Each structure stands twice: as C-alpha cells, then as structure tokens.
Amino acid sequence: MKSKKCQVLVIGAGPGGYVAAIRSAQLGLKTIIVEGEKAGGTCLIRGCIPSKAMIHAAHKFHDLAKHSAKGGHMGISIPGPAEIEMAGLKGWKDQIVDKLNKGVEHLLKSAGAELITGWAEFKDAKTVIVGDLTIEAENVILANGSVPIELPFMKYGGNVISSREALDLDEKVDHLVVVGGGYIGLELGIVHRMLGSEVTVIEAMDSVLPIFDKELRRPLELFLKKNKVTVKTGVFAKGVENIDGRTKVDFIDKNEKDESKMQSVIADKVLVTVGRKPRSDGLGATGVALDERGFVKVNQRCETNMRGVFAIGDVCDSGEMLAHVASFQGEMVAEIIAGKDRMYDPVAVPAIVFTEPEIVSVGLSPYEAKEAGHPVITGKFPLAANGRSLTQEAEKTGGFVRVVAREDDHRILGVQAVGTHVSELVGEWTLALEMGALLEDIAGTIHAHPTMTEMTHEAVLATLGHAIHIA
C-alpha cells in the first residue's frame, strides 16, 4: 500500500472543501484534498449551479411562450409554439457543470493542492485510506457536506426521486408531485411548471416557505395560484403506490385521525424535498463528537473536540447549510491552521430562494427585530415604481424591497425583498449590515440610474419617511 503525508488533508471538494484546499495551498501548506465524485460537490454538480441553469432555461421557455401567443408580446412574435427538448436542456446544463468542475480542478492544481479522487475511509482522526493509498495528515478539515433526507415510507427509487435525479430528467414530466414546500421543492417545482408540467406541492406546514414572513411569501403564493400550481398545505404525505407505471401519492390533513379521509394524487414523478442531513456516517473512527442530529460539533473556529481536526459547511453545527457559509468557513479554517486569528462570527448571512419571484433575506425581519426588543422602523419600495424593473418586466410579480432599522439610532438591522432578479441586490445589504451602516449611510450614497439598486436607496428613504418615487 502506498502512503502520503501532508500538513492539511481536506475531505470533500465541495464549496467549503475546495476553497479550504486552495487557500491552504496558497499559504504554503502541503495540502491534499479527497473527493469521492467530482470537484465542486453538491452545489456545483447536482445543486445550486445546475438548478439555476434549469431555472434560467425555464424562464426562457416561459417567455418564448408569450411571444408565440396570438398577437405576440412587446411587439415581438414568433411563428408556432415554443418547444422544449429535455435531453437538449440537460446537455446544455451539463456543459456548464463540466466547465465549472474543470475550473475547480484547475484552481486546485494552480494553487498547489493535490486532488485525489476516491472515497476516504478513516483509520483514525488523522489517517485515511483511499483505495490502495494511506494518507496521514497533521490537520484534517471535514467538508463532507450533506445528503437529502429520505422518508422511510417513500424510499428513493423508480418514480420517487430526490433533487439529484430531478436535475437529470431527459424527458418532460406530465405531472410532478413535490413532497415538501421548502426552497428546493419550490424552485424545482416552478421550473417544471414553466416547462409545461402539471405540478402539485404537498406541505405539512400551514404555508410554503414557513421560514419567511407572510408579507414576503404573498407574491410567491399569488404566482403559484396564477400559474396553476396546486398547493396542499397542512397535510402529511403518507406513502406511495405504483399503478401502471405511474405513482399514487397518499396524503391526509395533519389534524385528521380518520384514515378513511385519506386523499391521493397520481404522479409521473414524485420529488421528495423534506430537507438535508449531514454526511457524517463513517466518522466514528475520527473520535469527533456529533450532536443528536448527526452534525459535527464545532466552536467558532470550526474546531472539533479532536485537536487539529476541523469541520466546515453542511456537516458541522455552526452556521446555516449554505454554500457561501461553507466557502467562508473553508477559507477561515485554512488561515487558522496557518496561524492567523480568525473566527466565524458573521453579523448576517444572506438567504436566497430562487423561485419566481425570488425571495431574499439578510439580517432581521421586522418581526424578529421586535421580538429581540429593538424599537423598529421599516420602509418598503415596490418594484413597480422602479424604471429598470419595468424595462425587465420584473414588477409583474408584485415585489418590493423592505428595510428594517432601529428607531433610536437608525442602524440597519435587516433587508428583505421579493421579486424578479432581486437576488442580485443582496451584496450591498450584507455589506451594510457587516459594516454597521446607518440609514443615513445608504441615503447619502449615490446609486446608479437606471438600476434595480436604486430600490435600496428608495426603501431607505421610505424608512426615513421621505421616499422620492412613491407618493
């Protein structure tokens, strides 16, 4: 058996792992990174990137349908109906993924990090076996990521699929049933509705996306209704049954005890999106402590209970299960190993749902701020009053930008928005919170015209009581 030694061993080449490996190598540390599949991890290969490609394509198809309708749209008309060829869409999406995968491999190589493909089996906390290779490390960074949660009565296989399979469909689905009305289920459900599928969403909570307040959810709920997405809330999925190549999904009101009141719907595919869990199986030999849900316990430096062993991203219990959190922690841990003084203590972490309309939140909502005891003032500005939004038809979803600030000192506590393209605005909001910006700081900043960023300026002015472009 061959052997290697290194200063830093990274397990997993997702958005946390590959960033950690690149930064570690940049700092002059001998670095090895092990990945069982392709560099880029869930986000790049079967999550964030392919789903956003699918979302973009679905929007294109949806828009073309307007132009092919009788009379056209915008003065533009095309002969005949728009058509979708799923295999071609999948091929285009895969090209983007492959390009980015090769890009990550190139970045690792350029930085001096060695990428080894294979599944790592821990012998002890700092020794792994990959095939016929043993690797010993001075420091280990666990970036194992997460996997979809599987319902025991709705096992993956056949017509029951996870988000991974949903992104690799090469045929149009006539009727897609989505179990779970969170961000993954709604993003993919809306994609398939825009591509012409019938879509039914089954959600146990009383609303879809319950993590967001009612005001933010409202434009999305109206879009779902307008586009004939059937939404069943407050119901439990109970099981599936194959019927002549299709699948019957049983569900019942969560307060109903009489199973004779069971309802059902027939689907061609059943997409189960009820959350994700850490990929922490196989860490027993490391001695790292796990919490009751299987997350690796870490401190604010992402250190585990084992000296020289760190955990970042979805596998650890510090921070949200988001790619950008994993990347931040990966860079941070590499610098900690190199002797720098770093700590994971962000003021705010942006969250985005790429539905139509998009929903974005960073910092505190008005309701969270009040619960925290802050004296709160808020201001809103609608997309319908923004020129750039109108030129992109972004106002049609009835969205807005909302600013939350403390009444006494005008410190910005949070910013939320719902609407087409609003995800691109979140960088300014996150920076403002990290820098402790006041309303006056944003109000005194010149925002380019015509852009959607002007809505941030106007929402701040509305919070101060004197917005210019709304009466």
Q: What is the CATH number of the domain that holds 220?
A: 3.50.50.60
Among 294, 309, 337, identify where a domain stops: 337
H or E element that contains 99: helix 86-111
**Overall size of the chain counted in residues:** 471
Over range 438-442, report the average pLDDT: 98
Q: Residue 76: pLDDT above 90?
A: no
The active-site residue, picked from 447, 449, 457, 469, is 449
Q: Is the pLDDT of residue 190 over 90?
A: yes
Report if residue 244 sits inside a domain: yes
Q: Could you tell me if 251 and 364 lie in one domain?
A: no
Given pLDDT bands bounded at 50, 70 and 90, which one contains residue 20?
A: very high
Cα(219)–Cα(190) distance, integer angstroms: 14
- State whether residue 381 is helix, strand or coil: strand
312 plus 252 within the same structural domain: no
Residue type, 335: E
- 189 lies in the same domain as 216: yes
What's the rounded mean pLDDT across residues 384-404?
A: 94
Please report the beta strands in 356-411, taking only residues with DSSP state E, as ranges in sequence order: 358-363, 376-382, 400-406
Out of 52-66, 137-151, 350-364, 445-459, pick the least confident.
52-66
- pLDDT value at residue 456: 98
> pLDDT value at position 304?
98
The residue out of 232, 250, 274 marking a domain boundary is: 274
Please tell me whether residues 30 and 119 are part of one structural domain.
Answer: yes
Domain that includes residue 374, residue range: 351-464
Confidence of residue 415 (pLDDT cuts 50, 70, 90): very high
Checking if the pLDDT of 92 tops 90, the result is yes
Q: What is the pLDDT of residues 326-359, one digit of tens each?
A: 999 999 999 999 999 999 999 999 999 999 999 9
Mean pLDDT across the stretch 366-389?
97
Is the predicted pLDDT of residue 186 greater than 90, yes or no? yes
Give the count of domains, the chain.
3
pLDDT band at 162 (very low <50, low <70, confident <90, very high): very high
pLDDT at 246 over 90: yes
On whether both 186 and 310 belong to a single domain, the answer is: no
Report, as an integer, the average pLDDT of 275-291: 96
345 occurs within a structural domain: no
pLDDT at res. 405 = 98
Give the SS3 label for residue 157.
strand
Predicted structure pTM score: 0.94
Q: Please give the single-letter amino acid code of residue 134.
A: T
Q: Which of 221, 240, 274 is the last residue of a domain?
A: 274
Q: What's residue 69's pLDDT?
A: 83
pLDDT at position 395, please?
A: 86
Question: What is the per-residue pLDDT across 248-257, written as a single tens digit (0 to 9) for each?
Answer: 999 999 999 8
- 379 and 318 belong to one structural domain: no
Share of the chain above pLDDT 90, in %: 90
Residue 425 to residue 429: CA distance in whole angstroms: 7
Cα angle 283-288-294, degrees, rounded to a multiple of 5: 65
Res 396: pLDDT: 84
Determine, yes or no, domain membership for 231. yes
Q: The domain spanning residue 404 has which CATH number? A: 3.30.390.30
User: Domain for residue 154, yes or no?
Assistant: no
Is 471 part of a structural domain of the chain? no
Residues 384 and 425 in one domain: yes
Residue 417 forms part of a structural domain:
yes
DSSP character at residue 355: S
243 and 378 share one domain: no
Where does the pLDDT of residue 70 fall: very low under 50, low under 70, confident under 90, or very high at 90 and above? Answer: confident
Q: Per-residue b/e over 253-272, b at no fewer than 16 CB within 10 Å?
A: eeeeeeeeeeeebebbbbbb
Q: Are residues 300 and 380 in the same domain?
A: no
143 and 283, same domain (yes or no): yes
Whether 67 is catalytic: no
